[in-house]
Structure 1
Amino acid sequence: MLYKKIIRPILFKTDPERVHHFVIRLLGAISVLRPFFYLIKKFLFVEDSRLHVQIGNLHLKNPIGLSAGFDKDIIAPLAYSMLGFGFAELGSITNSAQPGNPKPRLWRIPDDKGLIVYYGLSSCGSLEASRRIKKKLQKRDIPYGVSIAVTTGLKENEMTDDYIRSFLDLYEFADYITLNVSCPNVVKCDVFAQVSFIEELLQKIMNIVKERKIGIDIFIKIGPDMSYTDLDKIIDLCVEYKITGIVATNLGKDRTWMKKLKSSEEKLDHPGGISGKHLQDRSNKIISHIRERAHDKLKIIGVGGIFTAEDVYDKMKAGADAVQMITGFIYGGPLTIRKI
């Protein structure tokens, strides 16, 4: 109640990106003060063996993870177990450091319990990210994944090798890797969501994994806007190349399939992908479709529209093995995971 009635209204009057940077730096500062870390974690992290989940080689103490996009530059990685998350995904990280799209690039749409996100893959770069992870996560009490995406401005024939360079920089420092082929906020995003591109990427990545005997779980993150024909092809490729699973789904860019948004045209008149409640049904349908086609050959991490325990249950019922969230956490506050 304190967060929703007092703190959130104050924060929501300030530019969302400034608030995000303030909060993440505050979390980073608190989480390295071990007495505060353990005190907060004792209150917020629920220890119960009934919540444990095994996904590939990953043992999760609970199935609720922090989605990529919250800590893009590895500022506060220790904070997420403190807040109750069972795992966390850092990034997305690109091979070359890049500033992303011009500001403003983040907008709240509270009437729709969502955000409009137009960051454009701002990143510190894969080498710097690997240094930060090595320094800050020498000890970890939950699994940490790293999401990698393509550096913007590359030619189409350079993109898969860009992912490979990031993978080689980061895999040793991650518990799992997610190949983000679905960012809706960059030029040529349609290229790296193409089935032919994904096949080439998986082939190269899995060849390296086999040659070097790398025992790491690999996921692909897909968007909600693709056709079911393309989705079926991607599911089949994931099964063929024996990756661990699929993260479904990223932000929605195509607003035609979304239910009527309540926010005013002025609030919606921004470029970018929409997160939040309006992704819920679409995400659940895609999860259900993946499970029906892949059976138990792929693990599924469900993302999109999670705010309550019922939302988590709906994702699990659809076929997800675990879930991730950001927007629901922003709207719900620091007690969100404990309440769920």
Structure 2
Amino acid sequence: MYPLARPLLFGLDAERAHGLTLQALDWAHARAPSLLPSTPAPLPTRAFGLEFPNPVGLAAGLDKDGAHIDALLALGFGFIEIGTVTPRPQPGNPAPRLFRLPRHRAVINRMGFNNGGVDVLVRNVERARRSGPGLLGINIGKNKDTPNAIAAGDYMYGLSRVYGLADYVTINISSPNTAGLRELQEEQQLRQLVGTLREEQERLGAKHGRRVPMLVKIAPDLSERDIEACARVLGELQVDGVIATNTTTSREGVEGDRLADQAGGLSGAPLLARSTTVLRMMRTRLPESIPLVGVGGILSGADAVAKFAAGATLVQCYSGLVYRGPGLVGECVEAIRRRRFAPSRGSLPPDA
């Protein structure tokens, strides 16, 4: 159905189309599930001590309040990540704040962590049926008006509120749309913040009787020196995983587009090369015990395979869904399956 719907959606403001798409998914899931794509055959993948039904996930940002969990899981994702959610509600940045660049298969957003606050998300997660095998990640951030000096308090509160509901939790310190947030990736601030959250994670694990993995999401705009420092800190603190990467402030690959000067983070096809480079660099610098999630620029099964070749254990997509629709999920799963079970070089053909 998506090839028929896309021209209509692209005729609307991008944020309005986003909302209508989620409403349509909810309707189809509840009343006409045959309209949804068929679920990919299982491709079990283990990471962070969790068993994922397949390694293709939905990146954070599509469903900030967790209001569409069941419909999104019905699209065949092995896992979905909701949020980013903040302790208190906030409206985000003024509209318009979401822009498509069709010629480049790209998106620019400056949403600014618009969400109803963590209490709303918790209620939505508690109401979700979650009848399928897909796992749930929850992405947490700080409120816009919380100074970095006390940002740990926002993250600790968010972690404590969602801990009992999530299969894993992601710490978002890499969005370009909250002023000063990326400064938390600086080595000393990162060590202090993540160290504090690791202690809270262990305390919550003892309280709840189960350990929920904690991941950190990084930016694609880090220098090589910053990547080395980041990997050193995250490795020493033994985080459970790293998501590489968030959106970029660079406009490489979209030069000359009439929307290229819009403020915000760029995602989609132009991000693929840079995000995959950062992924590869992190893989060579982190301990093998810390899995990586590759995200950024996946618009085909081949793009997903490129992330695995660079060292990913799981992948996520978001902007690719805007241009390809939910059929992208199954395409990526099947491409990864072919790569996983491809005969090794030099082996005999099956009928030899």
State TM-score, norm by structure 1: 0.92
Corresponding residue for 1:291?
283
Structure 1 position 27 matched with structure 2 position 25? yes
Does 302-311 or 80-89 show the bigger shift? 80-89
1:143-181 deviation digits (Å, cap 9, x = unpaired): 000000111011222211111101111111110000001
Alpha-carbon offset, residue 263 of structure 1: 5.0
Structure 1 position 83 matched with structure 2 position 71? no
**Is the 8 Å Cα contact of residues 96 and 124 (structure 1) preserved in structure 2?**
yes
- Specify which of 193, 197, 203 is matched with residue 211 of structure 1: 203
1:282-324 deviation digits (Å, cap 9, x = unpaired): 1111111111112412100000110111101110000000100
- Specify which of 154, 176, 179 is matched with residue 146 of structure 2: 154
**Is the 8 Å Cα contact of residues 224 and 282 (structure 1) preserved in structure 2?**
yes
Corresponding residue for 1:198?
190
Distance 2:169 2:64 in 1: 14
Distance 2:164 2:256 in 1: 44
Distance 1:81 1:291 in 2: 28
Corresponding residue for 2:12?
14
**Is the 8 Å Cα contact of residues 144 and 178 (structure 2) preserved in structure 1?**
yes
Alpha-carbon offset, residue 194 of structure 1: 2.2
- Specify which of 311, 319, 332 is matched with residue 319 of structure 1: 311
Structure 1 position 338 matched with structure 2 position 330? yes
* 1:177 partner SS: strand
1:193-224 deviation digits (Å, cap 9, x = unpaired): 32222211211111122234250111000011
Structure 1 position 109 matched with structure 2 position 105? no
Distance 2:57 2:191 in 1: 27
- Specify which of 224, 227, 232 is matched with residue 220 of structure 2: 224
Corresponding residue for 2:339?
none
Structure 2 unaligned residues grouped into runs of 5+: 333-352
1:109-162 deviation digits (Å, cap 9, x = unpaired): 011101010101101111221111111146452100000011101122221111
Distance 2:104 2:181 in 1: 25
**Is the 8 Å Cα contact of residues 25 and 75 (structure 1) preserved in structure 2?**
no
Structure 1 position 123 matched with structure 2 position 118? no
Corresponding residue for 1:238?
234
Distance 1:40 1:13 in 2: 22
Distance 1:238 1:57 in 2: 18
1:28-53 deviation digits (Å, cap 9, x = unpaired): 233345xx44x456x521123xx211
Alpha-carbon offset, residue 26 of structure 1: 2.1
Structure 1 unaligned residues grouped into runs of 5+: none
| Matched residue type, 2:38 | L
**Is the 8 Å Cα contact of residues 220 and 244 (structure 2) preserved in structure 1?**
yes
Distance 1:203 1:193 in 2: 13
Distance 2:313 2:87 in 1: 30
Alpha-carbon offset, residue 235 of structure 1: 1.2
**Is the 8 Å Cα contact of residues 53 and 59 (structure 1) preserved in structure 2?**
yes
RMSD: 1.7
Alpha-carbon offset, residue 3 of structure 1: 3.4
Distance 1:292 1:338 in 2: 29
Distance 2:69 2:182 in 1: 31
Distance 1:188 1:329 in 2: 29
Alpha-carbon offset, residue 339 of structure 1: 2.7
* 2:297 partner SS: coil
1:30-179 to structure 2, matched below 5 A, reads 30-33=28-31, 36-37=32-33, 39=34, 43-48=37-42, 51-137=43-129, 139-179=131-171
| Matched residue type, 2:7 | P
Aligned CA distance change for structure 1 residues 268 and 30 (closer, same or farther; 3 Å): same
The total of aligned residue pairs comes to: 328
Aligned CA distance change for structure 1 residues 291 and 235 (closer, same or farther; 3 Å): same
Identity in percent: 29
* 2:298 partner SS: coil
